[in-house]
Amino acid sequence: MAQLGTQSIQFEEAPYILSSASIVGTKEGEGPLGKKFDVVGKDDQFGEQTWEEAESTLQKEAATLAMGKAGLVKGDIRYIFGGDLLGQSIATTFGLMELNIPLFGLYGACSTAGESLSLAAMTVAAGYGDQVLAVTSSHFASAEKQFRFPLEYANQRPLSACWTVTGGGAFVVGHKRPGASEAGNKDSEACPAAGKKSGARITGITTGRVMDYGVKDSMNMGAAMAPAACDTIYRNFLDFGRGPQDYDKIVTGDLGYVGQEILIKLLKEKGFDITSEHMDCGIEIYDRQAQDTHAGGSGCGCSAVTLSAHILPQVEKGAYRRILFVPTGALLSTVSFNEGQTVPGIAHGVVIEHG
């Protein structure tokens, strides 16, 4: 476990992403990735009475499905690293409560998928757990209510606004060691998936710093997050001694069209051109013409479900040999925003390789 530079770790024994799952809402189901998701809801309430409960259901179902795909039961999972966008992370609390698994609650805004995968990989690589879960979610309706206006307001959205993805993503990160996990595994029999070659390993991480370029427009999250994405990608290049050519894809979370342009420009100023390698989950998930979400998709769930359904399969089959996954978060709150504060950003980088 080499410490690289000031922000990165390279794992000596890289943990595997044993399985993952994605569950999304109707709009995401109608988008270009629609057929790739594990579950598309019939409506966006997922059988619940409130938007927040619906979002909790996204987490619970994604976690359960990911465990099932790996042939695991909840007793096989040592820790959950989970978070969401809502105040006091209630989607996570109420979504994951029933699983009865020790929980580290996280808040990294829309970068949470990267933060949770980072900590999950650190935990497994250090031998603290044989299998751990990384879970995140977002919901369009609960996020609009939290950050902007209730849907009933029918407010006009500027062209720089992103559309919060309704989706939950879960990842089981584990050792490659075959057979049952070694400790505390009273609830389950031998763990069939732990010995299977999963095809995707987390070989390193680059943990982000809070970056503030003074953006004060809460309807332009791409601009708020692009400097953080730039900083994390740049530090990753320096720490690992790599450049854009060393990655098949450099995948940001939810910069959208506005943020993508800024990121590419900022990195060019630092001497790196990622135009050919860059992909943004917020751009991938919706059809720009047909779905008109303006600047693209956003939210914790955006990068999580796109990684699970669209990107990981390419890594697993070796079409992508190595990617840099960089979920991006805008550290926005209505309280700080209404008090005149800026919207700082943070981005957490995860290196995922075929193997």
Q: Which is nearer to its own copies, 91 or 315 (CB)?
A: 91
Query: Considering only CA atoms, which of 320, 270, 330, 266 is closest in space to residue 295?
Result: 330
List the x/- string, 17-56, binding to its own copies by CB under 8 A.
Answer: --------------------------------xx-xx---
For 264, phi and psi rounded to 5 degrees?
-60, -40
17-25, 162-170, 176-184, 242-250 -> range binding its own copies (CB under 8 A): 176-184
List the x/- string, 134-173, binding to its own copies by CB under 8 A.
Answer: -----------xx---------------------------
Among 33, 255, 331, 350, binds its own copies (CB under 8 A): 331
Among 33, 58, 70, 101, binds its own copies (CB under 8 A): 101
Pair type for strands 349-354 and 345-347: unpaired
- Residue 75 binds its own copies, judged by CB under 8 A: yes
Q: Which is nearer to its own copies, 210 or 319 (CB)?
A: 210
DSSP 299: S
For 172, phi and psi rounded to 5 degrees?
-95, 120
Least spacing, CB of residue 234 vs its own copies, in Å: 14
Query: Considering only CA atoms, which of 281, 206, 282, 286 is closest in space to residue 242?
Result: 206
- Residue 214 binds its own copies, judged by CB under 8 A: no
- Residue 59 binds its own copies, judged by CB under 8 A: no
User: Do 343 and 331 touch, CB atoms closer than 8 A?
Assistant: yes
Least spacing, CB of residue 73 vs its own copies, in Å: 13
Q: Which is nearer to its own copies, 7 or 22 (CB)?
A: 7
338 is written with which tokens? 């209404």
Cα(288)–Cα(141) distance, integer angstroms: 20
For 261, phi and psi rounded to 5 degrees?
-60, -45
Query: Considering only CA atoms, which of 162, 116, 107 is closest in space to residue 293?
Result: 162
- Residue 115 binds its own copies, judged by CB under 8 A: yes
Quick count: other Cβ atoms within 10 Å of Cβ 195?
Answer: 13
Least spacing, CB of residue 250 vs its own copies, in Å: 19
Q: Which is nearer to its own copies, 188 or 291 (CB)?
A: 188
DSSP-derived secondary structure for 309-352: IIIHHHHHTTSSSEEEEE-EEE---HHHHHTT----EEE-EEEE
Among 86, 120, 223, 302, binds its own copies (CB under 8 A): 86
Q: Point out which residues bind its own copies (CB under 8 A).
A: 1-7, 9, 49-50, 52-53, 75, 78-79, 83, 85-90, 93-94, 96-97, 100-109, 115, 118-119, 122-123, 125-129, 145-146, 182-186, 207-210, 212, 331-336, 339, 341, 344, 346
